[in-house]
Amino acid sequence: MVPSSLYEFNVMPFALANAQATLHVLITTVWHDIISAACLIYLDDIILHGKTVDERNTHLREVLLRLRDAGLVLHIYKCKLLQNQTLFLGYILSALGVQPDPHKISRIFEWPTPKTSQEIRSFFGLACYSWEFIHGVTGIAAPLHRLIEKSRAFLWTKECELTFAQLKRAVTFHPVLSLSDISESAREFILDTDASNTVIGAILFQFTAYDEERAITFAAL
């Protein structure tokens, strides 16, 4: 600090409390009018999309030009161009839709049998990452949820073992969720709901132009 001005960082240092907010301001300033239309950005991760190679190349050129004009640089070894699928924020994205990262799914499938309520909570903490891919997951997991209630003693029964195995199978053999189509020619979205005394569930899906029903996401409470 000097009498007439303040020192400024040339680059963002680690561990500053406002680092993410500052980065968000930069991102929205540089790409504010093409976010969603041409790219998706989370912090310093940028993913481009396009229905054709030409459209994707146009988006790539626009993003790179704005990077150059803003004085920003990319690490070439971290760039993947013209991919049919890519890993983004823990999910595999492709023309088919969205699916969980196989590495995380394998960790769930290999999880050992819980011996305490805390171990069940840890399993849920990892497994819930993929629950939007499982129809009726809350109903399936109900016996394990009861075990983590504070008023209950931990007692691992045959029902719990079957539930644990069923959850791991459901996570492993999950469907690929379709991407929503919001174009002018797209079919309408349909929300299918159901409820029982203990569970509320829903499926958001959309018909394709060929009358194929495709699930976009599952939800349950």
The reported pLDDT for the residue numbered 92 is 92
Residue in this structure with the two tokens 């891919």, named with its chain if needed? 133
Sign of the alpha-carbon dihedral angle for 141, 192, 211, 180: negative
What is the helix, strand, coil percentage profile of the chain, to 5? 40, 20, 40
Looking at residue 2, what is its pLDDT? 63
Question: Which pLDDT score, from 0 to 100, does residue 40 have?
Answer: 87
**pLDDT of 163:** 93
pLDDT at 116: 92
Q: What is the pLDDT of residue 18?
A: 87
CB 85 within 8 A of CB 93: yes
What are the 10-residue block averages of pLDDT along the chain, 221 residues in total? Answer: 74 84 88 86 87 89 91 88 87 89 90 93 89 86 88 89 92 85 82 84 87 86 77
Element (H or E) spanning 104, and its range? helix 102-109
Classify strands 213-220 and 200-207 as parallel, antiparallel or unpaired.
antiparallel
Report the pLDDT value the prediction gives residue 171, as an integer from 0 to 100. 85
State the pLDDT at residue 49. Answer: 85
